[in-house]
Amino acid sequence: MSHTRRNFFLLAGGALAAAQDPKNMVVRSARPEDLEMPLSGFADYLTPADHFFVRTHVYVPAVNMSEWRLKVEGSVQTPLTLAMDDLRKMPAVELIAVTECAGNSRSFFNPHVPGLQWGWGGVANARWRGVRLAEVLQRAGVRPSAVEVLLDGADEPIGTMQDFRRSIPLRKALHPDTILAYEMNGEPVPLKHGFPLRLVAPGWASDSWVKWVTSLNVLDKPWDGFWMKNAYRKPDHAVAPGTSLTPEQMVPVTSLRVKTVIASPAANWARPGEPVRIAGVSWSGDAGPVTSVEVSTDAGRTWKAARLYPGQKTKYGWRQWDFSWTPEREAYYTIMARARDAAGDTQPLAQEWNPGGYGWNVAPSLGIRVQAQAPEAANPPVSPAHPEPPPGFRASCLQCHGTDVIEQQHLTRAQWDREITKMTGWGARVNAQDRELLLNYLSGAFGAK
């Protein structure tokens, strides 16, 4: 591992300048690294690299540019092997687009769902530059029988885990806005974000935005590999909260939905007669862009138009907005915000639930106490001591990730039971005789709140 990491530092020189300082970020998982942007990050229109959320299933791969190639194969007339120079010689396109993890805001679902417990910041907005995926595919000559493109990145699975690969339908692959990006915000795509080449699938959740792309495989049949069959799926209809569904009962997550984050005010109280700046960002997916944002300061009884920042009219980027509000009298106010997109879609007022915790987009609300006196500081929460883990815990659970992802789960015994089964499917080795002890430990120490 350390050998690989050393290589990666030596070889990727330039791109490292934009390396991240985790100080600016919420660490959802230290190993592998999953970092969330704090609310303050929404003040930027384009998200700088040191605030850009990171989601890695395994580890950042070593990249040696003298050996790096992109392979195009499968259902094509002429398989290709391209170097970065070949791609840079092709016509370049540039666009601004939001990338949002399908599971962003998962922590807000009730009942609680397993997975990384993202708050608001599993999302970023950036300017991407690269070559159209369609251009590359046309060079290879896509056969008429083709239906999908399977993308693979240079990241290697750990132990018995499955390699991260994702396929997209040919329609999305050939869309003129779908690009293989080599630049993010005017710099080479940073290592953590897919250096030297990542897919940009504007409007779609970022599980399709494959990083470190080295292979395009044109397929005549939809890919039924692990990462399409088991992950990033949700029911195509509303289900009762808490319903347990098999992957076959669900469909892949694709387009994002219209969504808003209230990033300001950060304080939960204000003084009567003093203006409060309510501000945030809104974005949408295939149905974008956002065309208006409304704010309510009376729990949704009445709504007023927020001011959209000028100069941000793009097809796939987010829009920043603000609204000045001066509460007249002491009371508890509920601030809400909701956006509407070009297709006329708006945000729901109650969130529909799904087992993966994908697509959270309910109109957000924020309570604010208006009073003349500053409230007393609340006591910081005390984190509980955990009992000793049973034998087998380390070997079964800590091969691929650290304990922080486990501690944030808070699952019922039935959910932990399903989680162990799921992780076994993902490659974890759990001895039959250790399973019960493991389940006791997990549901005891990290049970439902």
Ligand X SMILES: Nc1nc2c(c(=O)[nH]1)N[C@H]1C(S)=C(S)[C@@H](COP(=O)(O)O)O[C@H]1N2
Distances (CA, A) of 298 to 226, 261, 323: 46, 18, 14
Query: Among 47-55, 67-75, 89-97, 423-431, which window interacts with ligand X (CB under 6 A)?
Result: 47-55
The footprint of Mo ion on residues 251-290 (CB under 5 A) is none
Q: H or E segment at 317?
A: none
The footprint of Mo ion on residues 23-82 (CB under 5 A) is 55
The footprint of ligand X on residues 96-125 (CB under 6 A) is 101
Which residue of the chain is nearest ligand X when measured via CB? Answer: 153
- The 95-134 contact track toward Mo ion, x by CB under 5 A, reads ------x---------------------------------
Structure tokens at 292: 């208006």
Tell me which of ligand X, Mo ion, none is bound by residue 327, counting a contact when its beta carbon lies within the kind-specific cut-off of 5 to 8 angstroms. Answer: none
Which residue reads 């509980």 in tokens? 384
| Nearest alpha-carbon partner for 263 in 140, 164, 125, 160 | 125
Q: H or E segment at 276?
A: strand 276-283
| Nearest alpha-carbon partner for 39 in 140, 127, 143, 120 | 120
**Strand ranges, E, within 133-197:** 148-153, 165-169, 179-184, 187-188
Q: How far apart are CA 218 and CA 235, in angstroms?
A: 27
| Minimum distance, C-beta of residue 324 to ligand X, in the bound complex (Å) | 32
| Minimum distance, C-beta of residue 80 to ligand X, in the bound complex (Å) | 20
Distances (CA, A) of 406 to 96, 107, 281, 428: 35, 13, 31, 14
| Minimum distance, C-beta of residue 23 to Mo ion, in the bound complex (Å) | 23
Tell me which of Mo ion, ligand X, none is bound by residue 257, counting a contact when its beta carbon lies within the kind-specific cut-off of 5 to 8 angstroms. Answer: none
Q: Is there binding between residue 55 and ligand X (CB under 6 A)?
A: yes
Using CB under 6 A, which of 36, 155, 294, 419 touches ligand X? 155
| Nearest alpha-carbon partner for 280 in 258, 266, 261 | 261
Measured from the CB atom, the residue of 99 and 297 that comes closer to ligand X is 99
Measured from the CB atom, the residue of 209 and 393 that comes closer to Mo ion is 209
Using CB under 6 A, which of 109, 120, 195, 212 touches ligand X? 212
Residues that bind Mo ion (CB under 5 A): 55, 101, 207
Residues lying near ligand X in the complex (CB under 6 A) are found at: 52-57, 101, 153, 155, 164, 192-193, 206-207, 209-212
